A and B are shown apart, each in its own frame.
Chain A
Amino acid sequence: MTATTARTTTVEVRLPSRLGFEKVAMSTAASVAKLMGFREERIDDLKTAVAEACINAIEHGNRLNEKLSVGVTLSAGTDALEVKVMDDGKGMKTQPAKPDIDRKMHGEEDPRGMGMFLIQALVDEAEWVVGANGKGSYVRLVIRLDKEEA
């Protein structure tokens, strides 16, 4: 589904809460970013960030409940792409911590749990928003076109 306003073109995708479908959102985001003129390197960053946001929504937000879907909205502006990934969970109240590889290697920290860190490290803005009434939470990502791209 697409919608266009004067300055923004919006593409929406709904995913089933099943692991693997994050790749649909990833491919869609990559296509939109390519149309906007992003460099391949930034498209790769975006793909990983979007995939991780969708995995979090599928696994933690919707708890793999296939009756629930994950909404992905891509809003392409003149100089930036905003991505919102929405689920029916309670949202993330903590900010992502940098993974400590030494603690992971010594079994003192779960080897998993790097998704939020990667999202924050790979895009220009990342914000986790807790939905009202404990539902409808989302993560909002923004990736900006470099001056030479724009």
Chain B
Amino acid sequence: MQTDTKSRIDQTTSQSGQPVTVLRFEGDISSASKDAVIGSYQSLSKTTVKTLLLDFTKVEYINSSGIALVIQLLMEAANSGQKVLAFGLSAHFQKVFTMVGITKYAGLFPDQAAALATI
């Protein structure tokens, strides 16, 4: 019954010319999303990927188990010295991410352009 989470990896460049990897999610993010969130992240090279954007534009539902997966991703990224930014969250989930403290470890931006402008 839990909706599948789709994920896609794109490459782009920041305004300052730095390579940036974008992990785009679609669907729900819940306990059933481990492969889409952690699996996709772990498929990235820790040596070449230095900056990662998480795209939540097409995500409508995130529950606490899904937030826990995002925290696990942030933990692994921090241990690998990678910078993570997120964009596309609804106002409600921006509030929820702020409440649980995620903003301390990942900046939240309204869209990709706003996130890339800070890199």
Q: Which residues of chain A have a CB within 8 Å of any CB of chain B?
A: 18-23, 41, 44-45, 48, 51-52, 55, 99-102, 104-107, 110-115, 117-118, 121
Asked, given contacts A23-B61, A55-B65, whether A114 binds B100 with beta carbons under 8 Å apart, the answer is yes
A19–B102 contact, CB under 8 A?
no
Report the minimum CB–CB distance from A28 to chain B (whole Å).
Answer: 15
Q: Which of B63, B69, B71, B100 contacts A51 (CB 8 A)?
A: B63
Grouping DSSP codes into helix (H, G, I), strand (E, B) and loop, the A interface class, with mixed when no group exceeds half, is helix
- Contact assessment for A121 and B2 in the assembled complex, using a CB-CB cutoff below 8 Å: no
Closest beta carbon of chain A to B23's beta carbon, Å: 18
Interface size, chain B (Cβ < 8 Å): 28
A144 to B11, CA, bound (A): 45
- Whether the Cβ atoms of B102 and A118 lie closer than 8 Å is no
Please determine whether A99 and B1 come into contact, CB atoms closer than 8 angstroms: no
B2 touches A20 (CB 8 A): yes
Q: Per DSSP, are chain B's interface residues mostly helix, strand or loop, or mixed?
A: helix
Is residue B59 within 8 Å, beta carbon to beta carbon, of the partner chain? no
Distance A48 CA – B100 CA, assembled complex (angstroms) = 14
Q: How many A-B residue contacts, CB cutoff 8 Å?
A: 74
Complex alpha-carbon distance, A100 and B104, angstroms: 11
**A19, B99: Cβ atoms under 8 Å?**
no
Q: Which B positions have Cβ atoms within 8 angstroms of A?
A: 1-3, 30-32, 61, 63-65, 67-69, 71-72, 74-75, 78, 90-92, 96, 99-102, 104-105
Chain B min CB distance to A3 (Å) = 27
The docked-state distance in angstroms from the alpha carbon of A105 to that of B68 is: 10
Whether A114 touches B68, Cβ cut-off 8 Å, given contacts A19-B31, A19-B32, A41-B92, is: yes
Residues on the B chain within 8 Å of A111, using CB: 68-69, 71-72, 75
A104: which B residues are within 8 A, CB to CB?
71, 75
Knowing A20-B3, A41-B91, A111-B71, the reply to whether A105 touches B64 (Cβ < 8 A) is no
A45 (CB) vs chain B CBs: closest residue: B92
A52 to chain B, nearest CB (A): 6
> What residues of A have a CB within 8 angstroms of the CB of B104 in the complex?
101-102
